[in-house]
Each structure stands twice: as C-alpha cells, then as structure tokens.
C-alpha cells in the first residue's frame, strides 16, 4: 500500500499534482449557478441551500427578469417573492433572508453588494461559503469555497482531517497555491459529482488515485 507523507510540503506537492490533473480534466469547471451580477449570484446561492443548482437556475430565469435591484426585492409583496422561489424549498425563510439581505445592501452599502468577507457575512443567510463564492466569481478574489464536495474530497485526499468548514478552508489555504483557490474548489465539485461520490466512489476510474490515501485503500477492497 502506498504511504502518503503528511508533512506540509508533501501535501503541497500532492495538491499541485491533483490540481494539474483535475484542471485538465475539467477545464470548464466553474460555478454552476447562472448569474450576470454579484446580486444575482448572492440571491442564487441563498436559494441553493438544500436545493440543486439545476432547479435554482430554472427558477432564476424568471426571477431575475422580475427582480433586478435590491430595491425590487424589498418593495415587492412578500407573497409574490415567496411564490416565485417556492420550487427551491424553504421558500418563506429564503424570501425573508433575501429581503433582509437586500435591505442591508441598500441601507449600509449604498445598494452595491459588498466586496469583503467581513462585510458579506453580515448579510442574512450568507456564510463563508456563499461569501467566498461571490468574492471568487464576481470580484476576482482568490477564495476557497468549502461545500459538501470540498469537505468530502479534501478529507479523502488527505488535505485535512476536519469536517469543520472553517478549519478546512484554513487548511486548504495553507496547501493550495493562492492563485488556484477558486478554480481548485470548482474542480473538486466537478470531480465529486462525476467520480468521487459520497456512497459509491469510482476510485478505480479516478485520475488522481495515485495521490489519494482514501482511493488507494478503497480500490483494493
């Protein structure tokens, strides 16, 4: 069985090899939510909680034609917004979060989506994952986006031993080159969906099995 060194340098070298292969395998890897502005991505990520990106994209096709500014969300009848986002689930709570977020954007940030982590996480329904997604996608700020795929794959690859998103983000920031943070995050999502499934990972088909402690063990079972 292959022995994987756990020194920081060894993890960095392994991460570089993994990124090279995944980036070549998924050159199209990016955020799968449809958006044309920071506000649209912010709203889409709130809707995506416990909902598939595909369903969110269907809903936002109509939603974004009706609601174009933070003021639109704040001034619209709550029932109208709730009905528009109903297919995404938890529509009352999500509508409440969207309205509170938009009201704060208007009152505190002059109607513009803020551009820092510290400011973004003050918005209702916005945690570090959503904030990092907006920063990385809309403002070009290198950001590690820790979602369920990132948690699973970063543990299997031996980049972290934690299930805490904040600790995982910190661990990966030490290992991944800064310029790869956003794209590496998306590569893990794509690989998690295609190969490294939660219940039945297809390790024998994996292009990075040579660098994966979990895969090297699992493939021999």
> Catalytic site residue 129?
yes
| Secondary-structure breakdown of the chain: helix, strand, coil percentages, each rounded to the nearest 5 | 65, 0, 35
Helix axes 53-66, 38-47, angle to 10 degrees: 130
CB 45 within 8 A of CB 130: yes
Sequence-distant (6+) residues with CB within 8 A of 115 are: 135, 139, 141
Q: Which of 11, 68, 100, 147 is catalytic?
A: 147
Q: How many CB atoms lie within 10 A of CB 92?
A: 13
Contact between 152 and 192 (Cβ < 8 Å): yes
CA distances from 45 to 24, 133, 148 (A): 27, 8, 14
State the Rg of the chain over Cα. Answer: 19
Instruction: Check: CB of residue 137 under 8 Å from CB of residue 131.
Output: no
Which of 129, 171, 220, 221 is the catalytic position?
129
| Contacting residues for 204 by C-beta, under 8 A, at least 6 apart | 219
**146 neighbors 128 (Cβ within 8 angstroms):** yes
Structure-block tokens of residue 120: 């973004």
User: Does 171 participate in catalysis according to the annotation?
Assistant: no
Catalytic residues: 129, 147
């Amino acid at each position: 069985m292959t022995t994987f060194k756990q020194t920081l340098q060894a993890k960095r070298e392994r991460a570089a090899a993994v990124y090279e292969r995944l980036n070549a395998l998924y050159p199209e890897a990016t955020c799968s939510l449809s958006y044309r502005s920071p506000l649209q991505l912010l709203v889409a990520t709130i809707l995506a909680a416990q909902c598939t990106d595909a369903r969110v994209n269907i809903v936002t096709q109509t939603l974004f034609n009706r609601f174009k500014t933070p003021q639109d969300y704040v001034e619209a009848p709550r029932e109208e917004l709730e009905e528009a986002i109903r297919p995404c689930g938890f529509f009352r709570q999500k509508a409440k979060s969207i309205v509170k977020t938009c009201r704060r954007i208007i009152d505190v940030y002059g109607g513009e989506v803020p551009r820092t982590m510290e400011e973004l996480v003050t918005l209702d329904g916005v945690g570090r994952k959503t904030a990092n997604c907006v920063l990385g996608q809309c403002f070009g700020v290198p950001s590690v986006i820790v979602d369920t795929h990132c948690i699973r794959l970063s543990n299997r690859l031996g980049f972290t031993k934690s299930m805490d998103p904040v600790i995982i983000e910190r661990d990966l920031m030490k290992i991944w080159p800064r310029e790869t943070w956003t794209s590496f995050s998306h590569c893990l999502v794509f690989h998690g969906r295609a190969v490294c499934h939660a219940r039945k990972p297809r390790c024998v088909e994996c292009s990075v099995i040579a660098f994966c402690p979990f895969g090297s063990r699992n493939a021999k079972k």
